[in-house]
Structure 1
Amino acid sequence: MNGLAIEAKGLFKAFDGKTAVDGVDIAVPQGSIYGILGPNGAGKTTTLRMLLGIIDPDAGERSLLGHSEPLEAAGRVGYLPEERGLYPSMTARESIAFMGALRGLPLSIGRTRGAGLLRDNGLGDYVDKPIKSLSKGMAQTVQLFGTIVHKPGLIVLDEPFSGLDAINQGRLETLIREQAASGTTVIFSTHVIAHAERLCERVAIIAGGRIRFEGTVADARDRLRPQVRLRTRVADGGWRTALPAGTTRDDGIWQFELPSSGIEPLLKALIDGGAGIEELSIERPGLHDAFVAIAGEAAARQMQEQATR
């Protein structure tokens, strides 16, 4: 497998003659946290379902934990679908144990591990509470524990942060990091860029059913030049000719891309010209900026609207 938990090449899927996924290539290293970023409708869920073998691609190849037939590895996978579903009358512990049993874990072990997961995450008071008595976020957390109770080698989460409040989002981020630290591979889809930027080592940016970028977060950000913000005591002077083309000024702040020659020649020109530097900072573009440059402003705007709903 060359150190890959998931590998896909040229995945294509259409529904009723409409292309949903168009030639997707993905490589997920073992033990990594990998994010698939894109607005709703971009093809994220269809891609995950093809990788897992829930649906078959119309074309392309895939490998899951070394198996060309993904369902052969189902027992080693934990999957949290976008559509949540638990039996309302089941207790939290029984729900976790039941989900583990679906992956081959004995119920008795599932009950013990389920109670442990709840207690270790500050939810010990909810062990024997029925699902119908829990908040939406708490129930989603229980379903997440059911996804990992059988200790899978690969965890696949489809929009896992959707509907969670800030506390439960933080709890989920911590759990994802802990799973990766133990050697488990985690892949998740999201339309919230901040989660991917905080968690992921590698990402795939998908829009319109096509992968627009696949690689490390650092490589995505490096597609854009760092931005320089400059405030000077003197508003005008010969030193202004040293500012790069495309420089803008707003509320007394000059802003421009870091020149390819670096900041030192510019600093010398500013000092020699008597600009009177009051503030100077170099800001590396974030993943959001990279997403806009790669997928376009329309896709980024759609993501932002979905994230604030």
Structure 2
Amino acid sequence: MTSGNLLLSGVTKSYGSRRVLDDIGFGVAPGRLTGFVGGNGAGKTTTMRIILGVLASDGGSVTLNGAPVTAADRRRFGYMPEERGLYPKMKVLEQVVYLARLHGFEKADATTRATALLTELGLGERLGDAIESLSLGNQQRAQIAAALVHDPEVLILDEPFSGLDPLAVDVVASVLQSRAAQGTAILFSSHQLDVVERLCDDLVIIAAGTIRATGSREALRAQHAGSRYELVTAGDAGWLRSEPGVTVVDFEGGSAQFDADGPETAQRVLRAAIERGPVTSFAPQHPSLAQIFKEVIQ
């Protein structure tokens, strides 16, 4: 499979006088899972539809490996819309085989692919069941199979984890990680920030139609780490409250989280803690995705 490096640059979209996307730019790299997060109405679905050619942008570009995305390119994309679109009366295997055949696979190959993928997604015992007879979570798994059955170069998933129980989330996450490891460029939106944080390699945060933050998960954590530290000692850490340049934000016995007014203050605190007794750990605190999200959309 050819690697697909997807890049959006300066993408805009308006409905009348209302601008819903304003100078959108970010990349989706091959072999990486890119989490796309934002509140309702932030512009995630509109952006995805423009990538897929379902909507036309008013300006900007969408390129694949440096060239404008064509209709032929998009046939190598996989897409799972937020509003699900399977045929309710069709049987699970029949549905996914049908979609594979639309992508040009012979029936035998399509059946082999669909069976393996549905089994990987935990639907191996439901192949002969009608879509409408499945739980919403299992319909979700079938929809993901439909997006993946042709081994897309670029995979775009709109809220793939909504309605899934924790076990199903783990199954779907494992399948997506496997596809990324094979070189697929994957963009997925989700309101479940804990899942995004666990799964993604890169992050794009959008609010009110503008990109507020983008980069690797580690880079964004480091960028927003600020000056918060955690100190764990064998004794009582209450003395921290009287240290100049220190604001204690959480405290329990020998464990404390605090903000320091600079790295010199943090090092002074560490030296003072060592003088008082054994120090179990001392480390800067990296913010969660939820904390970064709140910070950048304000």
Calculate the TM-score normalised by the size of structure 1: 0.85
Change (3 A) 1:122 1:30: closer
- 2:14 aligns to what? 14
After superposition, what is the alpha-carbon deviation per residue over 1:155-186, rounded to whole angstroms, capped at 9, x for unaligned? 11011111111121111100000001111111
**In 2, Cα distance between the equivalents of 1:260 and 1:235?**
20
- 1:208 aligns to what? 208
**In 2, Cα distance between the equivalents of 1:230 and 1:176?**
37
1:228 has 2:249 as partner: no
Question: Which stretch shows the higher mean deviation, 13-22 or 248-257?
Answer: 248-257
- 1:112 aligns to what? 112
Shift in Å at residue 254 of structure 1?
A: 4.1
- 1:154 aligns to what? 154
Shift in Å at residue 123 of structure 1?
A: 2.5
- 1:285 aligns to what? 287
Change (3 A) 1:225 1:15: same
In structure 2, give the amino acid aligned to 1:288: A
Shift in Å at residue 122 of structure 1?
A: 3.7
Superposition map of 1:269-308 within 5 A: 269-272=272-275, 274=276, 281-282=282-283, 283-296=285-298
After superposition, what is the alpha-carbon deviation per residue over 1:174-211, rounded to whole angstroms, capped at 9, x for unaligned? 00000011111111111221122111111111001100
In structure 2, give the amino acid aligned to 1:44: K
In structure 2, give the amino acid aligned to 1:147: A
- 2:247 aligns to what? 246
**In 1, Cα distance between the equivalents of 2:72 and 2:237?**
69
Uncovered stretches (5+) of structure 2, i.e. residues with no partner: none
Change (3 A) 1:49 1:257: same
Kindly report the root-mean-square deviation, in angstroms, between the aligned alpha carbons of the 2 structures: 2.4
After superposition, what is the alpha-carbon deviation per residue over 1:206-261, rounded to whole angstroms, capped at 9, x for unaligned? 0011000111111111122253244652745xx75545343345555643135423
Change (3 A) 1:145 1:65: farther
Instruction: Answer whether contact 2:121 2:141 (CA < 8 A) is retained.
Output: no
**In 2, Cα distance between the equivalents of 1:103 and 1:263?**
59
Instruction: Answer whether contact 2:237 2:256 (CA < 8 A) is retained.
Output: no
Aligned length: 290
**In 2, Cα distance between the equivalents of 1:114 and 1:62?**
30
Shift in Å at residue 107 of structure 1?
A: 3.8
Secondary structure of 2:247's aligned partner: coil
Secondary structure of 1:247's aligned partner: strand
- 2:79 aligns to what? 79
Shift in Å at residue 126 of structure 1?
A: 0.8
- 1:302 aligns to what? none
Change (3 A) 1:235 1:132: closer
Secondary structure of 1:219's aligned partner: helix
Shift in Å at residue 71 of structure 1?
A: 2.3
- 2:186 aligns to what? 186
**In 2, Cα distance between the equivalents of 1:28 and 1:249?**
38
Shift in Å at residue 112 of structure 1?
A: 2.3
Secondary structure of 1:89's aligned partner: coil
Secondary structure of 1:142's aligned partner: helix
After superposition, what is the alpha-carbon deviation per residue over 1:243-280, rounded to whole angstroms, capped at 9, x for unaligned? 534334555564313542374432222344x4x56765
Superposition map of 1:114-133 within 5 A: 114-133=114-133
Secondary structure of 1:228's aligned partner: strand
Shift in Å at residue 116 of structure 1?
A: 1.9
1:266 has 2:269 as partner: yes
- 1:306 aligns to what? none
Uncovered stretches (5+) of structure 1, i.e. residues with no partner: 297-309
